[in-house]
Structure 1
Amino acid sequence: MRSLLSCLAILTSFALAFPSRRESPHQVKERVFSPRDWEIHSVAPSTHRIELKIGLPQPNFDILEKHLYEHLSKAEVEALVAPHPESLELVNDWLASHGFGEEDIVRSPAQDWATIVVPVRLAEKMLDTEYHVWTHATSGESIVRTTSYSLPIHLHDHIEVVQPTTIFARLKSFKSTIHSLDKQTGQIVAQTNTPVVSASGISVDPSCNTTITVTCLKELYNASSVVPSATINNSFAVTGYLEQFANFQDLQSFYALEVPEAVNTSFNVVSVVKTTSLLAEAGDEADLDTQFGFGLTFPINGTFFTTAGSPPFIPDIGTPTDTNEPYITWLDFILAQDDIPLVISTSYGDDEQTVPESYAKRACAGFAQLGARGVSLTSSSGDGGVGDGDSDPTTQTCFTNDGTNRTEFLSAFPTACPFITSVGGTTNVPEVAVFFSGGGFSNYFARPSYQDAAVKAFLEKLPKGTYKGLFNPNGRAFPDVSAQANNFLVVISGEQELIGGTSASSPTFAAFVALLNDARLKAGLPSLGFLNPLLYSTAVSGFNDITEGNNPGCGTEGFNATVGWDPVTGLGTPDFGKLAEIVTSPSRA
């Protein structure tokens, strides 16, 4: 790494000629069209306070990408994403000219983000814009945003993004269904007592066709005999947003039902944004993630990150705070930690087009920093098939948000970030694609080289002209892999429920990655870290190819699951036994 840092010193010595620091006129930095389903309610109150996050350029990010697989230290990663000193100086001068001292600025460890809390009237002056209260037509929620902002011309090369300004993402958990068990029987009864056979060739209890448990998943994915260690510094985590909290009593009830050896054990709770909640309320998403994530990985050390956020802005009563998109908040926190869980799953996201491209790319760069530090990240691929999941998948219109109102398949964020492993969904035994499995192609991120061959093979098989103009064939394709995503038996507020959605498949796949790390750590090898290049190369043979099903949306039947990679189930579902052999072989040291 010494040579890498030396190269950085040489690169930064060749600074460009920077513009004068004198006051320069404002010029539009970013503009978006009026977002679909959002309407202006009123002018934003001038005293309303906004937490502005200012992203400075990362001039050596391309070098970080080349070292993604080396398990760099926190200091090494920070050196690779640090802004140029000239950018820091110019931005500091600008903030000082508006009355901000160093004590008013919260900086990320690499100093690539600067955060200030500012009233609307000052934000409008700094950004030469006007904020409004916007209300969503369907949900009724309100936020304070603008559709454009400007910066002094001399700062355009030194500030990549300022938010919250133009971001209208609503952030939702990817769970498509939830319903109670039959109260008379207390359980779902299988229609037959004949064992069913999984793609791994293993007999699975027939009840797994109607109710998914921890035992079902271990049987399905060839990991029934796996006994992970609690003493080799392995770790696993899930994230929670939107006031979702995991309930400890529900976990104990779940353990008594499905993982009796784990009864009276728990997990760590880390509050990213401080909250007054005692984590006593049961959130269905949080309960699902923690119960199956920690149930599958017990006794590996588990952590639940809660990024509670602020309550929505309520214009009628002048609530003084409003929600911000939480990914940068979470990234700021997690990247500042010396020790990070080796596998982290998230089950939240939104339509890609509701997130400004500049913001999406900066958040994605943050996920890459985690990968460089040896962390494996998974994300749900979404529950709308090729659409947005907000209506009947066969009737969704799926309009673009760029002013042209074209019909187009809708990509999702953050799952389309190429530094995340996107997880789609399956159902039944033998497995087929579940109809809501999100999949498609990004309009923001180009197709990464690691999936070139697999995606090109799919596109070549696609009948010529199919869905022409409805998707970007050159974009990053997702999902990468898949796992069961329907009828997961959970305990919520003391009641047994069934949940479906890729909210279930992401923590499931992530849990098996944690088990693979257990095998590697026992063999004296490092954690897997950024997964995708491995998945599309050596590890392909460790997946059960799913070849039936499709993911309808936008008034179409969507894509079909087929032989090889497809934008419904990716490479398929994991065969733990085969994958463990692959990742512990000498060639993967």
Structure 2
Amino acid sequence: MRSFVWFTLAVASLVTAAPSETKPCGAHKIKEEIAHPIGWVKGKPAHPDVPIELRIALPQPNFSELERHLYEVSDPFHERYGQHLSKEEVEALVAPHSESVHMVNEWLASHGIYEDDIVRSPAKDWVRVTVPIRLAEQMMDTKYYVWVNEKDGNTIIRTTQYSIPENVHEHVELVQPTTLFSTLRGMDTTFRFTAEDSANVAKVNADAPPISVPSASGGKVDASCNSTITVTCLLQLYNAVGFKPTGKVGNAIGITGYLEQFANIADLQLFYAEQRPDALNSSFKFVSVKGGLNNQTLSEAGAEANLDTQFAFGLTHPIPGTFYSTAGRPPFIPDAGTPTDTNEPYTDWLDFVLSHPSPPQTISTSYADSEQTVPVSFAKRACNGFAQLGARGVSLTFSSGDGGVGDGDPNPATQTCFSNDGRNVTRFIPLFPPSCPFVTAVGGTIHIPETAVFFSGGGFSNVFNRPTFQELAVSKFLAKLPKGKFAGLFNPNGRAIPDVAAQADLFKIFLSGRTGLIGGTSAAAPTFAAFVSLLNEARLSKRQAPLGFLNPLLYTIDALSPKAFNDITVGNNPGCGTEGFNATQGWDAVTGLGTPNFGVLKDIVTSFPVSLLP
């Protein structure tokens, strides 16, 4: 047992200690207030009988201790590298103080809500209760309205201000859904049927000489890969030809699915037949989160889900794969008999996976929100959840975004990029969760030799400070920017995005029985995740621990072994009426550290001298 178990037990005892003397609920005091959200129109008051699920976050007084453990087990030069924490150890480190549990219980009880009405997270740091709108308004001295999104007409029930009793303030970190006006979306994948064109391209490329790429397997990549990306292309380009995972060392990879995106098994079999015949007749494990569906009707196949699963699982076969289908999708038309759509399903997934004793060691997500639409309190709390997974040995990749430095508008010239703080000034728009420092943000490249793809999301967080592991690489990039360039448009002290990159366009997939090409950083994230999973396979086969939280390792490797990443120095990511940032030597805000050289990375990550598994 590790030396910090005494601390774990001490924290756990705080949670079970006898509560202090009950205090009556005091006068309400504003907990959170936001300006009128850009792009939303306030409609009629929410119907008082509509049920709403409130998520109440209790403070995590020992999170800094968890963060210390996280960085120690993620630092390749620390003696504790790879000694990841157990589920129970993590839960003890994020548990609230017993006084907070008691005070929140008293507040809820004063409104007739008792233990049988409450759903608690395993660590007791989250409380969920479902109440009618009228009771939520009474509890928080607020008024809910139906808000309509100007772009797509989707509706949500929200408020711009809420209060809680003053004597409960220090015991509640946040309550949602209240001020969260985010619109979770997949990356802007563009699918186009090109069966005839692909056939013609294949004929042209059949006799073309291979492309010389010194870092690739054998120093060459098939000429066809410059117009159509396949599993073979990626294995060649990222120097992984010849590595054969067994799938029998306890390794696993996961893909998250939202917004009714269904990964179609029939399409997967067509993909395997063409690109990975040795995987034919194999599949993945399906996991439903909070009622997530698994519609296998061919016409209901999702381009996003098919892209993610076909390439992530195609690159890693026979490593076991899991697809998580999480319920929750706008538009929502509220009425007296329909539950509200909270429109934050990735936190439902986070709750679920944190409760699971053995999640996959690598998990990729291709969905995000504009960071400025997520209340700071909520963003930080969700980010802390990702840290918990990292401490348990899980590597998380997120697409960096498909709007360049902008707001997701496919036309960089028309992106508005207004701040959402009431000032309406022009600002670059980073995305969350990619802006969370505890996940690995993946940008995009195109063509061979690789250049930055124009839509690759990149920039700097306005919520999270730059972590120390980024300081050396990012400060060099900032020093190269002409003085005053983009002044006021970004936060030069923020967490920098992306961390790494991978190919992000012209991916050949099967959708509803037909082939076509698809692009977006939603292709890059599962691709990079697949190579991380292969690295985990190499480590686990040597009885070493999985990589877990990647970022400290990635930036350390880049500083010491430049050949581990293919540096991308051409391209930019326009948006907000600007040309965006430029790709350049070293880290940049378009492609991060660059794309992976699996062969070099494998030799590095398996060379750590200590065997970390029993």
Which TM bucket (shorter chain)? over 0.9
Equivalent residue number for residue 429 of structure 2: 410
The answer on whether the counterparts of 2:230 and 2:275 sit within 8 Å (CA) in structure 1 is: yes
Decide which moves more: 122-131 or 271-280: 271-280
Q: Kindly provide the CA deviation profile for residues 38-60 of structure 1, in whole angstroms up to 9, marking residues without a partner as x.
A: 10121101111111110000011
Alignment of 1:101-120 (within 5 A): 101-120=114-133
| Counterparts of 2:506 and 2:389, CA distance in 1 | 32
The alignment status of 1:562 with 2:584, answered yes or no, reads yes
Shift of 1:165: 0.6
**What amino acid is aligned across from residue 499 of structure 2 in structure 1?**
D
| Counterparts of 2:294 and 2:606, CA distance in 1 | 42
Shift of 1:257: 1.1
The answer on whether the counterparts of 1:199 and 1:544 sit within 8 Å (CA) in structure 2 is: no
| Counterparts of 2:20 and 2:227, CA distance in 1 | 64
| Counterparts of 2:125 and 2:200, CA distance in 1 | 52
Distance 1:106 1:10, change over 3 A: closer
**What amino acid is aligned across from residue 43 of structure 1 in structure 2?**
P
Equivalent residue number for residue 133 of structure 1: 146
The answer on whether the counterparts of 2:366 and 2:522 sit within 8 Å (CA) in structure 1 is: yes
Distance 1:229 1:13, change over 3 A: closer
The alignment status of 1:421 with 2:434, answered yes or no, reads no
Equivalent residue number for residue 353 of structure 1: 372
Q: Kindly provide the CA deviation profile for residues 383-416 of structure 1, in whole angstroms up to 9, marking residues without a partner as x.
A: 0000012241133220000000110101110001
Q: Kindly provide the CA deviation profile for residues 230-272 of structure 1, in whole angstroms up to 9, marking residues without a partner as x.
A: 2111100010000111001000011011101101000000001
The alignment status of 1:209 with 2:222, answered yes or no, reads no
Distance 1:64 1:51, change over 3 A: same
| Counterparts of 2:124 and 2:183, CA distance in 1 | 28
Q: Secondary structure, in 3 states, of the residue corresponding to 2:162?
A: strand
| Counterparts of 1:434 and 1:391, CA distance in 2 | 13
Distance 1:184 1:404, change over 3 A: closer
The answer on whether the counterparts of 1:327 and 1:363 sit within 8 Å (CA) in structure 2 is: no
Equivalent residue number for residue 299 of structure 1: 318
Shift of 1:507: 0.2
Question: 1:75 pairs with 60, 85, 88, which one?
Answer: 88
Shift of 1:524: 1.4
Question: 1:100 pairs with 113, 116, 128, which one?
Answer: 113
Equivalent residue number for residue 143 of structure 1: 156
Question: 2:276 pairs with 248, 259, 267, which one?
Answer: 259
Equivalent residue number for residue 6 of structure 1: 6
| Counterparts of 1:317 and 1:91, CA distance in 2 | 28
Q: Kindly provide the CA deviation profile for residues 17-48 of structure 1, in whole angstroms up to 9, marking residues without a partner as x.
A: 99972221111111111111110121101111
The answer on whether the counterparts of 1:190 and 1:207 sit within 8 Å (CA) in structure 2 is: no
| Counterparts of 1:197 and 1:96, CA distance in 2 | 70
The answer on whether the counterparts of 1:244 and 1:308 sit within 8 Å (CA) in structure 2 is: no
Question: 1:164 pairs with 177, 180, 183, which one?
Answer: 177
The answer on whether the counterparts of 1:175 and 1:499 sit within 8 Å (CA) in structure 2 is: no
Shift of 1:175: 3.1
Distance 1:425 1:19, change over 3 A: farther
The alignment status of 1:436 with 2:438, answered yes or no, reads no
Question: 2:32 pairs with 14, 30, 36, which one?
Answer: 30
Ranges in structure 1 where 5+ consecutive residues have no aligned partner: none
The answer on whether the counterparts of 2:22 and 2:106 sit within 8 Å (CA) in structure 1 is: no
| Counterparts of 2:162 and 2:555, CA distance in 1 | 40
| Counterparts of 2:496 and 2:256, CA distance in 1 | 24
| Counterparts of 2:263 and 2:364, CA distance in 1 | 15
After TM superposition, the score normalised by the length of structure 1 is 0.96
Q: Secondary structure, in 3 states, of the residue corresponding to 2:127?
A: strand
| Counterparts of 1:19 and 1:401, CA distance in 2 | 42
Cα root mean square deviation, aligned: 2.0
The answer on whether the counterparts of 1:181 and 1:188 sit within 8 Å (CA) in structure 2 is: no
Equivalent residue number for residue 79 of structure 2: none
Distance 1:121 1:156, change over 3 A: same
The alignment status of 1:60 with 2:79, answered yes or no, reads no
Ranges in structure 2 where 5+ consecutive residues have no aligned partner: 74-82
The alignment status of 1:547 with 2:547, answered yes or no, reads no
**What amino acid is aligned across from residue 524 of structure 2 in structure 1?**
S
Q: Kindly provide the CA deviation profile for residues 362-386 of structure 1, in whole angstroms up to 9, marking residues without a partner as x.
A: 0000000000000000000000000
Shift of 1:3: 3.8
The answer on whether the counterparts of 1:196 and 1:429 sit within 8 Å (CA) in structure 2 is: yes
The answer on whether the counterparts of 1:53 and 1:115 sit within 8 Å (CA) in structure 2 is: yes
| Counterparts of 1:439 and 1:416, CA distance in 2 | 9
The answer on whether the counterparts of 1:312 and 1:321 sit within 8 Å (CA) in structure 2 is: no
Equivalent residue number for residue 80 of structure 2: none
Alignment of 1:43-58 (within 5 A): 43-58=45-60
Equivalent residue number for residue 78 of structure 2: none
Equivalent residue number for residue 515 of structure 1: 534
Equivalent residue number for residue 237 of structure 2: 220
**What amino acid is aligned across from residue 213 of structure 1 in structure 2?**
T
| Counterparts of 1:5 and 1:151, CA distance in 2 | 36
The alignment status of 1:272 with 2:289, answered yes or no, reads yes
Equivalent residue number for residue 181 of structure 1: 194
Identity level (%)? 59
| Counterparts of 1:318 and 1:311, CA distance in 2 | 17
Alignment of 1:380-395 (within 5 A): 380-395=399-414
The answer on whether the counterparts of 1:398 and 1:409 sit within 8 Å (CA) in structure 2 is: yes
Equivalent residue number for residue 377 of structure 1: 396
Decide which moves more: 222-231 or 302-311: 302-311
Question: 1:200 pairs with 197, 206, 215, which one?
Answer: 215
Q: Secondary structure, in 3 states, of the residue corresponding to 2:474?
A: helix
Question: 1:90 pairs with 94, 103, 114, which one?
Answer: 103
The alignment status of 1:581 with 2:594, answered yes or no, reads no
Q: Kindly provide the CA deviation profile for residues 84-138 of structure 1, in whole angstroms up to 9, marking residues without a partner as x.
A: 0000000011111111111111110101000011110000000110000011111
Q: Secondary structure, in 3 states, of the residue corresponding to 1:394?
A: helix
**What amino acid is aligned across from residue 67 of structure 1 in structure 2?**
H
**What amino acid is aligned across from residue 582 of structure 1 in structure 2?**
I
Shift of 1:199: 5.4
The answer on whether the counterparts of 1:313 and 1:320 sit within 8 Å (CA) in structure 2 is: no
Shift of 1:587: 4.4
Equivalent residue number for residue 77 of structure 2: none
Shift of 1:549: 0.3
